[in-house]
Amino acid sequence: MPTTTTTVLLFLLLIHLTITTPSPIPGLDTFLSHRSTVDPSSTNDSFPSLPSSLKKSLSLSSPHPHIPSLISSLLSLTLPLSLHIRLVGSSFPSDSSSLLQTFLSTAHISDHFHVITTDSHRLSIKHSPHLEVSHAGSTLSSRLSEALKSSISESTSSLRSPLLSIPYNTVDRIIKQDFDREKPVQGVYVYLINLGSQSKNYAYSYSEGDSSPGFTKCLGTIWTGKERYLWIDLSAGPVDYGPAISGDGVLPRGEFHPLTAMHGRPKSHKALLADLASLIWNAYQVLLVPSLRIPVHFQNSLIVEFIHIYGSGSGKDLSGLDWKEIEKTFMDEANEGGLLLRNQNLAFRKYEVNYDQCSICSFAISRSINSYTSRFLFDNYTLIVSEYLDSKRLHQILSDSAEEFRRMAGTPEEDFSRVLPVYVFDLDYNTLLMLDRYHQSVAFRDMVIAVRTKTTQTVSDYSCNGRHMFTHTRVLERPLVGSILQSMWGVSPTHLSWSPRHNNTLVDYTWSVGQTPFGPFSEISSLSFVQKDAARRNVLLTSLNYSISSVIDVLESIIAHGGDRKLLKQNQHVQFIQRWNLFKYKLDKAISAMSHKDFDMALYYLRSSDHDMYAIHSLVYHASQELEASLVCFKDPPFPWGSVSMSAVVFFALVYVYSKRESLFRNKRKQF
Ligand SMILES: *[C@@H]1O[C@H](CO)[C@@H](O)[C@H](O)[C@H]1NC(C)=O
Ligand SMILES: *[C@@H]1O[C@H](CO)[C@@H](O)[C@H](O)[C@H]1NC(C)=O
Ligand SMILES: *[C@@H]1O[C@H](CO)[C@@H](O)[C@H](O)[C@H]1NC(C)=O
Ligand SMILES: *[C@@H]1O[C@H](CO)[C@@H](O)[C@H](O)[C@H]1NC(C)=O
């Protein structure tokens, strides 16, 4: 009996810790959730229709605020994310879960969200994992064991690879069933599978068919689901993939990488679990709280414009450039409720430009061509000169001549939408020509550029399990999907993250096999939960960061005026308290909704909090105007002119942003 009580108490405590519960004001929740059904995009401010009893509770909930602590309460907003770790297989001794839990809790992994491409990489919001480790039932592991054994006996070994290739679906369909039984889930499930060694070494293949001389299929040991789960088969492999020679992102060979924790010299139980803890830590960083590629602002209408610049020689050979397939990748997700937020819509348009009739096109290409030399050993050492396109220069020329391109392609001027032009240069060259030597497609903040020539393939600088990877240079669908995700939704490639410790972007290909549209090791263009969640979370994080920093500006200007009591008159002060409490309440609600992956609700609360943010700005601005006027009359003590004019600037900036929310983002887009 006492143990049950303790468990229940612990459970309640855990719930309390896991879910940021805003301080309860009776009736406010009901009021706001009612408003969210009446006015789901929060076009109108709901404050005037707030019952007076609620207003009263709002002003009583903290009548004497200490402004610096309000600021720190904004800066300490944390998004809790829950992570369920399931240990599958009898090879995990029964104390594994508690040991792993201990290792994980000692690693301090709560941190800020980061953006790769901005001036200040750190967002104000933090994230923190809430981990729960458990052993999966023996039914799951015996089903997996059976499936794996029969799959291994059916597969024939290949001369090309020391690893037997097993279709990933052998394991995935069983794991998916287990995951489905856990529904409804709010967090992410990580299955660590350890079934002991099998009769042969094996790894998972992610598509039909084997490797062939011009085509390397990369086998892996992981899978990230369409829904929020991933699994790692610790007994599979060892696999290695990464840059062929050396450089950033080489997956260390042998026993030092956590993905190969089960291979190599036998380890103590503890050492193994420590490795697993580091693997989970890495998965959390890369898959659950990935860095934003760029900040992305909310916009109702998203338009992707394919601009196909084709050479007349090759005609319009569309193999490898199937627009419908690219569109379908995104539309399928959008229709299933991933990728887009409520009321957002996504459209794809296609335009064509004949390269021979487009002088600016050939100008752009010829100005951007660069060359590099490399040494090859044939009979003797021979210097070979190869050409590539400088993507930055091409981007500059395309930006400068955007109007001319618009005219050539006949693209309409779009108002109130975010338009992403995707320039595809389909050239009649017979030589290889890639962007910055290695890329088929490059994503910029405001456009995507891709190029292909008549050459069909090249050996890339990457290798997988001892074999070189090939780039099929005419096949652009997958590279374009990856680039569009980066530019339109700020989703980072699976191998890139911002590391504040290194003050640099880190490259690590560990999670770049299986279901990811990024990187050279996968052939799959479909999105996993990682990209789908990131797409929506990125918009919310950008907006949340904007609200936080602009309210902090106001609070600082209150401090500069000598504090809230001095600046705000009685009735203004009451309203300020009410607005502030409502604002903070809505931010907490938004974060709680994000934590439960209810992104639409989070968007509602954020948009709704914009009204309070605006009201706070306006209150403080008017109060500072009055204070200024009274000081002019009395010519009393030295006055903080700087901060007054600062708050005026901030106010007008806000009024402007607020009134032109839609069109401002459009202008921002144009400036690049
Ligand atoms: C917002 O307010 C306007 C006028 O005040 C009103 O006409 C409109 O119906 C309101 N919209 C919603 C969704 O409540
Ligand atoms: C190197 O070999 C190429 C042909 O393979 C030949 O044309 C060239 O003259 C040789 N150069 C020297 C310096 O021997
Ligand atoms: C990070 O690097 C940038 C440029 O590479 C430099 O300007 C900045 O000062 C560095 N920041 C830190 C904290 O070292
Ligand atoms: C996020 O907010 C902080 C201040 O709170 C600001 O310094 C930073 O530039 C903002 N980042 C973005 C991407 O807006």
Q: Tell me the per-residue pLDDT of 543-602, one tens digit each, with 9 for 90 and over.
A: 999 999 999 999 999 999 888 888 888 888 999 999 999 999 999 999 999 999 999 999
pLDDT at 333 over 70: yes
What local confidence, expressed as pLDDT, does residue 256 receive?
A: 52
Q: Which ligand is nearest to the CA of 41?
A: 1
What local confidence, expressed as pLDDT, does residue 582 receive?
A: 94
| Of 458 and 658, the one with more pLDDT | 458
* pLDDT (mean) for 126-131: 94
pLDDT digits (tens, 9 = 90+) for 652-665: 555 555 555 544 44
pLDDT at 10 over 60: no
Of the candidate ranges 214-223, 281-290, 326-335, 646-655, the one whose mean pLDDT is the lowest: 646-655
What local confidence, expressed as pLDDT, does residue 118 receive?
A: 86
pLDDT at 422 over 90: yes
Sign of the alpha-carbon torsion through 497, 501, 504, 508: negative
Cβ–ligand 4 distance for 547 under 6 Å, the answer no
Distance (Å) from CA 273 to ligand 1 centroid: 58
Which element (helix H / strand E) includes 553? helix 529-560
The DSSP letter of residue 374 is: E
Whole-angstrom Cα distance, residue 452 to residue 20?
50
B/e letters for 595-606, b = 16+ CB within 10 Å, e = fewer, are bbbebbbbbbbb
Residues with CB under 6 A from ligand 2: 378-380, 382
pLDDT digits (tens, 9 = 90+) for 50-65: 898 898 888 887 777 8
Best mutation site among 32, 38, 41, 43 for ligand 1, i.e. most ligand atoms within 8 A of its Cβ? 43
What local confidence, expressed as pLDDT, does residue 105 receive?
A: 87
Residue in this structure with the two tokens 């504090």, named with its chain if needed: 563
Whole-angstrom Cα distance, residue 205 to residue 215?
14
Cβ–ligand 4 distance for 124 under 6 Å, the answer yes
Cβ–ligand 1 distance for 39 under 6 Å, the answer yes
Cβ–ligand 4 distance for 549 under 6 Å, the answer yes
Measured from the Cβ of residue 527, the count of other Cβ atoms closer than 10 Å reads 25
Region for residue 424 given its phi and psi (left: phi exceeds 0; alpha: psi -120 to 50; beta: otherwise): beta
Cα 525 to chain centroid, rounded: 16
C-alpha pair distances (Å), 3 with each of 9, 17, 98, 99: 10, 20, 18, 21
- Contact (Cβ atoms closer than 8 angstroms) between residue 584 and residue 73: yes
Put simply, whether the predicted model's pTM sits higher than 0.85 gets the answer yes
Structure tokens at 261: 């924790």
Nearest to 419 by CA among 350, 324, 326, 488: 488
Ligand 2 atom having least distance to the Cα of 378? 5
Coil, helix or strand for 140?
helix
Nearest to 434 by CA among 400, 383, 490, 476: 476
Exposed/middle/buried for 435, CB within 10 Å: 0-12, 13-18, 19+? buried
Whole-angstrom Cα distance, residue 434 to residue 519?
16
Of the candidate ranges 280-289, 356-365, 657-666, the one whose mean pLDDT is the lowest: 657-666
Cβ–ligand 4 distance for 545 under 6 Å, the answer yes
Q: How confident is the model at residue 27 (pLDDT cuts 50, 70, 90)?
A: confident
Nearest to 334 by CA among 482, 483, 532: 532
pLDDT at 294 over 50: yes
Nearest to 417 by CA among 320, 519, 349: 349
